């Protein structure tokens, strides 16, 4: 993992907490939420206030996310909105936190000037005993206040002010006036500068969770389904009919098509489909080279393609299928028939333009993990987990590629790959040498096959 950190591919964009004042504010919030404190003088935090160094010190990397369900957060600055979310357990958490910060940015800027803001993403589930509990998550409410209760006190002061204006004898109520003065000393003039955070709640219909080996739940679509990347979940234990596992490729393909969630890359507008597919082919060659023990350190794209030419017969089916598709796209060669049983099938798709495109692109990355660029952009948790098991030569090649061809223009790369509004990814490529020395290597249904259709996507 050290290589990834050095290149800004892991823990990039974290916020440094180094001043004694900020460390003390963090400790007040940490103690307020968890009863714990850190003895560190400086560390780094993500959008939620989680710090890998503090997690290492406490021996608990879920210290702000007990049981991985109701994520707590600590805000020291509104700049945290640009930071990544580490150790994510739900795909919606970072978006919720970012929207909360942006909606309340002016208020949070004023509040964090003097204190930390601590809060929680609250839902009705406090433990994940079984997959059925996922269906109890209907909405997430954001609760937040400073460690001194400034927002709560401001609301109380506002009520007292209204009472003072409303009651005829309020000028003679010394207790009321004294209470107002005391609260105003803490909150300031709430009549001119109201201290109020927007009450926000978010419906949770379609999402991914890291629980149970990784599960995608789609219930806000016409044809509902639960898709598990781990063990198959018994459909008799959940309140929807369709429960799929990763090996149910035909059923997953039918689900994606029936809900219009994907589109073929070669049919997408405004993209260089052949270039995208050729890059996926290169990644497949790299994966095959790893298995063959070939040293790829320092290899260029030309080297990879020369290697592919010399070892064409030993390359997997995914390579040959994508090559046939590129031949059709560039030279109007023979139209290949690619159905969902073909191991290259999910490599040929991307999410169509809809509200859950980021979630669908993450699912496609899960189903086509040899495309390491999409895996890194759309599913970092899985990328880091797989990276730990790669050979040193593949680690070196992938890290160099992402640094050279992704970090230099992330927005452009995401737009070229995914179009529409590309997935959010604000991890900045800033090497953090002091962080490297202190962090450890953690990650961080039996439906019939669809009928054949004309064109590559026959089923």
Note the pLDDT tens digit of each residue in 407-438: 888 888 888 888 765 445 544 333 334 444 44
Would you state the pLDDT for residue 447? 36
Mean pLDDT of 267-271: 80
Mark whether 292 and 352 lie in a shared domain: yes
Of 126, 119, 123, the C-alpha closest to 143 is 119
User: Is the pLDDT reported for residue 294 higher than 60?
Assistant: yes
DSSP codes joined into one string, 327-371: HHHHH--------TTSTTGGGGEEE-SSTTHHHHHHHHHHH-TT-
Partnered with residue 245 across adjacent β-strands are 228
In this prediction, residues 53-82 reach a mean pLDDT of: 95
pLDDT bin (cut points 50, 70, 90) of residue 257 is very high
Out of 145-149, 181-185, 273-277, 401-405, which region has the weakest mean confidence (pLDDT)? Answer: 181-185
Do 332 and 197 belong together in one domain? no
Q: What is the pLDDT of residue 103?
A: 93
Same domain, yes or no, for 258 and 175?
no
Average pLDDT over residues 386-396: 92
448 located within any domain? no
Any domain includes 343? yes
Among the residue ranges 60-69, 174-183, 275-284, 287-296, the one predicted with the least confidence is: 174-183
Q: Are residues 176 and 321 in the same domain?
A: no
Q: Which of 373, 384, 396 is nearest to 295 (CA)?
A: 396
CA 400 to each of CA 3, 12, 388: distance values in angstroms, whole numbers, following the listed order: 9, 16, 16
Range of the domain at 143: 2-127+139-203
362, pLDDT greater than 50 = yes
Give 65 or 333, the one with higher predicted confidence.
65
Q: Do residue 162 and residue 304 come from a single domain?
A: no
- Between 347 and 295, name the one with better pLDDT: 347
Segment 120-132 mean pLDDT: 90
Q: Phi, psi (5° rounding) for residue 222?
A: -60, -45
Last residue of a domain, one of 203, 235, 257: 203
Task: Report yes or no on 455 lying in a domain.
Answer: no
Report if residue 321 sits inside a domain: yes
Please check whether residues 173 and 27 belong to one and the same domain.
Answer: yes
301-310 helix and 273-292 helix, angle to the nearest 10 degrees: 70
Are residues 8 and 109 both part of a single domain? yes
> What is the distance between the alpha carbons of residues 353 and 251, in angstroms, rounded to a whole number?
22
Burial of 224 (0-12, 13-18, 19+ CB in 10 A): middle
pTM: 0.83
Measured between alpha carbons, how far is 374 from 260 in angstroms, rounded to an integer?
A: 20
Residue 385's pLDDT band, with cuts at 50, 70 and 90, is: very high
For residue 435, what pLDDT is reported?
A: 43
Residue 126 is predicted with a pLDDT of 83
Over residues 63-74, the mean pLDDT reads: 93
Q: Mean of the per-residue pLDDT values for the chain?
A: 84
Predicted confidence band at 314 (pLDDT cuts at 50, 70, 90)? confident
Q: Please check whether residue 234 lies inside any domain of the structure.
A: no
Over residues 173-196, the mean pLDDT reads 60
Same domain, residue pair 259 and 356? yes
The answer as to whether 22 is a domain residue is yes
Q: Which pLDDT score, from 0 to 100, does residue 18 have?
A: 95
| Cβ neighbours for 121, distance < 8 A, ≥ 6 positions apart | 70, 71, 72, 73, 93, 96, 97, 140, 141, 142
313 or 377, higher pLDDT:
377
Same domain, yes or no: 37 and 159: yes
Q: What pLDDT score was predicted for residue 129? A: 92
pLDDT of residue 185: 61
Confidence of residue 448 (pLDDT cuts 50, 70, 90): very low
Across the range 365-384, mean pLDDT stands at: 95
pLDDT (0 to 100) of residue 1: 81
Mind listing the pLDDT tens digit for each residue in 186-239?
A: 665 444 445 678 878 999 999 999 999 999 999 999 999 999 999 999 999 999
**Would 380 be classed as within a structural domain?**
yes
State the DSSP string of 389-433: TS-HHHHHHHHHHHHHHTGGGHHHHHHHHH-SSPPP--------H
Q: Sorting pLDDT into bands at 50, 70 and 90, what band is 165?
A: low
Q: What is residue 173's predicted lDDT score, i.e. its pLDDT? A: 64
Total structural domains within the chain = 2
């Amino acid at each position: 993992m050290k290589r990834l950190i050095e290149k800004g591919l892991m823990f990039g964009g974290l916020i440094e907490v180094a001043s004694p004042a900020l460390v003390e504010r963090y400790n007040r919030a940490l103690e307020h939420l968890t009863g714990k404190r850190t003895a560190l003088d400086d560390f780094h935090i993500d959008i939620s206030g989680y710090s890998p160094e503090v997690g290492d010190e406490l021996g608990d990397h879920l210290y702000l996310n007990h049981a991985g369900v109701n994520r707590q957060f600590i805000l020291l600055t509104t700049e945290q909105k640009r930071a990544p979310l580490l150790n994510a357990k739900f795909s919606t958490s970072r978006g919720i936190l970012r929207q909360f910060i942006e909606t309340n940015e002016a208020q949070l800027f004023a509040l964090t000037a003097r204190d930390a803001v601590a809060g929680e993403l609250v839902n009705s589930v406090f433990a994940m005993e079984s997959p059925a509990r996922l269906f109890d998550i209907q909405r997430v409410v954001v609760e937040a206040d400073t460690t001194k209760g400034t927002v709560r006190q401001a609301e109380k002061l506002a009520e007292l002010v209204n009472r003072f204006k409303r009651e005829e004898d309020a000028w003679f109520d010394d207790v009321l006036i004294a209470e107002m003065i005391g609260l105003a000393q803490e909150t300031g003039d709430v009549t001119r500068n109201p201290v109020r955070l927007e009450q926000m709640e978010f419906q949770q219909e379609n999402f991914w969770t890291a629980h149970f080996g990784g599960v995608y739940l789609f219930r806000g679509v016409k044809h509902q389904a639960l898709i598990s990347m781990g063990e198959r979940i018994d459909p008799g234990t959940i309140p929807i009919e369709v429960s799929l596992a990763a090996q149910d490729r035909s059923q997953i393909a039918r689900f994606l098509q029936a809900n219009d969630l994907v589109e073929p890359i070669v049919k997408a507008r405004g993209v260089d489909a052949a270039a995208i597919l050729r890059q996926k082919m290169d990644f497949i060659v790299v994966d095959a080279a790893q298995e063959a023990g070939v040293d790829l350190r320092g290899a260029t794209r030309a080297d990879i393609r020369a290697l592919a030419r010399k070892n064409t017969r030993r390359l997997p089916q995914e390579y040959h299928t994508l090559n046939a598709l590129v031949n059709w796209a560039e030279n109007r060669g023979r139209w290949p028939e690619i159905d969902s049983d073909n191991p290259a099938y999910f490599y040929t798709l991307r999410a169509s333009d809809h509200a859950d495109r980021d979630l669908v692109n993450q699912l496609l990355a899960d189903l086509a993990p040899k495309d390491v660029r999409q895996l890194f952009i759309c599913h970092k948790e899985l990328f880091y987990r797989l990276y730990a098991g790669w050979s040193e030569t593949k680690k070196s090649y992938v890290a160099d590629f992402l640094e050279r061809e992704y970090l230099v223009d992330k927005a452009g790369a995401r737009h070229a790959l995914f179009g529409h509004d590309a997935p959010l990814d604000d991890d900045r490529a800033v090497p953090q040498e002091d962080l490297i020395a202190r962090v450890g290597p953690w990650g961080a249904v039996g439906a019939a096959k669809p009928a054949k259709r004309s064109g590559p996507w026959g089923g």
